[in-house]
Structure 1
Amino acid sequence: MANEYKFEGWMGLDAESAKGKLVWQDFEPKTWEETDVDIKVTHCGICATDLHTLRSGHGPSPYPICVGHEIVGKAVRVGKDVKKDIKVGDRVGVGAMNSSCLKPECEECSTGIEHHCPHMVVTYGSNYPDGSRSQGGYANYHRSPSHFVFKIPVELRSEEAAPMLCGGITMYAPLVDNDCRGKKVGIVGVGGLGHFGILFAKALGARRVVGISRKGDKRKDVLNMGADEYIATDEDEAWSKHHARSLDLIVCTVNSNKMPLTDYLGLLRVYGTFIQVGAPEDVLPELHAGALIGKGIKIGGSMIGSPTQIDEMLQLAADMKIKAWVQTVAMRDVNKAIVDQDAGKARYRYTLVNESNL
């Protein structure tokens, strides 16, 4: 079957592209397999990882590259071997992961944690086994193996569902994995990721939710999201002392090695847990063992979530009427949007709208 459409997108050609210098051009999608789905992209969220990748912040990026891994659109081609209930015309989405080995002998894939498979293919900038390259959703079309394509519940608007597919699941998974129900939960860094932490912690039954960020200008927003309290670490005097031993679980989205990690750990109660989801381009701050030993604190990390968790999250959002706080931007204005994203102007997530595909 010959495609009746071309794969084109906003491509980063070098590290300068992160400064708003993406170029619209053709790209070659992954090699078609009958387990694949082609998606006509209508919406794509902007994630901080897009910026890290465009500037090679986490290592050299394979230019030219089309970023974007919060994709929503319409299925326009569905392989004959697709086992999921996906039909041409369905509204579907793809998150930060495009593929894994899915072999029965794979410990990760066979136990439902495909996102930790050593052969994972991320949604852009990865190579498939045949050598073809994954390309993301700042584009008119996206191709993905069907196992990592999700039907979007009718109750969710596309511009709100898109950022849930990476930003949302990045926060939902550690809250579920560390059973936030009935606990006092702190969300450090209330930006695109952190605001999902507030929304999902409340929906999942946390007893108390505290937003923690540097400045006080987000206080009203965070309380309106459902948080019980807000801490501005640059402005609230002696915040670490006043709130010491008050939280059971902290999920930290901060991307800077300048964060006051020891002070954050001081907020935890005995046997508390600190989960890092933000990925700085450099190292985390130094930490003295006493900060862990004295209260038996556990530090861990979390990366996106499994396909099963993504389906659960989308359904929870639909059932609980959870709405992401998004600003929509025409995809043609992506270069301005990524500069504004890097400057921290989003309140709280940008979603690109591909108006020509609506």
Structure 2
Amino acid sequence: MIQDYKFEGWLGLDKEAVNGKMVWGEFEPKPWEETDVDIQVTHSGICGTDVHTLRSGWGPVDYPICVGHEIVGKVVRVGSQAEGGLKVGDRVGVGAQSDSCRGRLPRGECDDCSAGLEQYCPNMMATYNSRHLNGGKSMGGYATYHRCPSHFVFKIPEGVASEHAAPMLCGGLTLYSPLRKFGCGPGKRVGIVGVGGLGHFGVVFAKAMGAEVVGISRKAAKRDEVLQMGADEYIATDDDQGWAEKHRGTFDLLVSTVSSANAPFEDYVWLLRRDGVLVQVGNPDDGSYTLPLFPLIARRIRITGSSIGSPAEMREMLDMAARTGAKFWVETRPMKEANQAIVDMEEGKARYRYVLVNG
């Protein structure tokens, strides 16, 4: 098949890219395999991971890089061995994971892939800043086109707008997975710590699952917005006097999206009831938390983490959004404004998620 389109996008050339210095250019996608799909990108969400990666906050980056792993678009090419019944013209999405071993390594399939938990595969390949098994470099969605193994391409249900679907593919899934895993539902008091571009998905999903939901963030200025999202209560840790003592031992589950090592982590842990769970999904690049052992011992509390979600959870989440009519706080920006949008996001201007739109 003759490919009559180019893969072009916003490229970060070094750490300065995060300061609005990405450059537009052509790039090579991974070498084509018959299990692949090519997607014409219509929408690409801006995720906090994009920012951390552009500035090498989590480790070395294979520059030049095209970030963006909340990709929605139209299928323009389908390999002869593609999965999922995909066809040209389908509206689809790709999240933060592009591939895993899936039994293609000499030692066979890993336990994670065989359990359907590909996101924990030791050879998990991210949608950007990774290398595929065929040696190709993964490049993301701030672009015109994206190539991805079909196993990690998902049909977007009718009734879910593309600008809402895009940020769900990483941000939404990152909150949906631990809420589902750790029993969010009726009769549970659930706190979402850090109600920003990531955490606001937790408020919406936890409410849709039937829990009592409390948004927890630093400033009181967000209170009205978080209550509008569906939260039953809001705690401002900088502005509400005595919040830690007032709410001590009242939560069944906390999901923390906080990505700063300066957060009052021990205070969060004490908010949990006996046998409560704190799930950390935010990953600071400015230091590490100190593990508070005493509340773990005194209240039999668990601290754990969670990474994105599985393909099965992705489909469940998208179906749930279509079924419940869940809506998220999204602002669309033209793809040509990607540099400024990154800067604006770093300055906290997004309410609550930016989505880049081609066209």
Bucket of the pairwise TM-score, normalised by the shorter protein: over 0.9
Mapping 1:87-102, distance limit 5 Å = 87-102=87-102
* Corresponding residue number in structure 2 for 1:47: 47
Following TM superposition, by how much is the alpha carbon of 1:291 offset from its aligned partner in structure 2, in angstroms?
2.1
Name which of 91, 115, 120 aligns with 2:119: 115
Distance in 2 of aligned mates of 1:253 and 1:198? 12
Distance in 1 of aligned mates of 2:111 and 2:201? 30
1:210 and 2:204 matched = no
* Corresponding residue number in structure 2 for 1:225: 229
* 1:317 counterpart SS class: helix
TM-score (norm 1): 0.98
Distance in 2 of aligned mates of 1:130 and 1:85? 23
Deviations 1:230-282 (A, max 9, x none): 00000000100111111000000000000001111111111110000001014
* 1:42 counterpart SS class: strand
Q: Which runs of 5+ in 1 are unaligned?
A: none
Distance in 2 of aligned mates of 1:256 and 1:187? 15
* Corresponding residue number in structure 2 for 1:325: 329
Mapping 1:297-308, distance limit 5 Å = 297-308=301-312
* Corresponding residue number in structure 2 for 1:189: 194
Deviations 1:200-249 (A, max 9, x none): 0011121x100000001111111111100000000000100111111000
* Corresponding residue number in structure 2 for 1:35: 35
* 1:130 counterpart SS class: coil
1:245 and 2:249 matched = yes
Distance in 2 of aligned mates of 1:173 and 1:161? 16
* Corresponding residue number in structure 1 for 2:181: 177
Following TM superposition, by how much is the alpha carbon of 1:64 offset from its aligned partner in structure 2, in angstroms?
0.3
**Aligned residues, how many?**
354
Distance in 1 of aligned mates of 2:259 and 2:251? 21
The residue type equivalent to 1:239 in the other structure is: W
TM-score (norm 2): 0.97
Distance in 2 of aligned mates of 1:308 and 1:153? 14
1:82 and 2:82 matched = yes
Deviations 1:73-117 (A, max 9, x none): 000000111131211000000000000111163211111000111
Distance in 2 of aligned mates of 1:317 and 1:342? 28
Distance in 1 of aligned mates of 2:291 and 2:81? 50
Distance in 1 of aligned mates of 2:254 and 2:264? 13
1:291 and 2:295 matched = yes
Conserved 8 A contact 2:101-2:109: no
1:67 and 2:67 matched = yes
Distance in 1 of aligned mates of 2:26 and 2:152? 24
The residue type equivalent to 1:232 in the other structure is: A
Runs of 4+ that moved beyond 3 A: none
The residue type equivalent to 2:58 in the other structure is: H
Name which of 269, 275, 278 aligns with 2:273: 269
The residue type equivalent to 1:144 in the other structure is: C
* Corresponding residue number in structure 2 for 1:3: 3
Q: Percent identity?
A: 60
The residue type equivalent to 1:18 in the other structure is: V
Name which of 194, 197, 204 aligns with 1:199: 204
* Corresponding residue number in structure 1 for 2:261: 257
Name which of 341, 345, 348 aligns with 1:344: 348
Following TM superposition, by how much is the alpha carbon of 1:316 offset from its aligned partner in structure 2, in angstroms?
0.1
Name which of 281, 286, 301 aligns with 2:285: 281
* Corresponding residue number in structure 2 for 1:312: 316
Following TM superposition, by how much is the alpha carbon of 1:132 offset from its aligned partner in structure 2, in angstroms?
1.0
Deviations 1:139-186 (A, max 9, x none): 000000000000001101101100000000000000001011121000
The residue type equivalent to 1:176 in the other structure is: R
Distance in 2 of aligned mates of 1:62 and 1:39? 23
Following TM superposition, by how much is the alpha carbon of 1:285 offset from its aligned partner in structure 2, in angstroms?
2.3
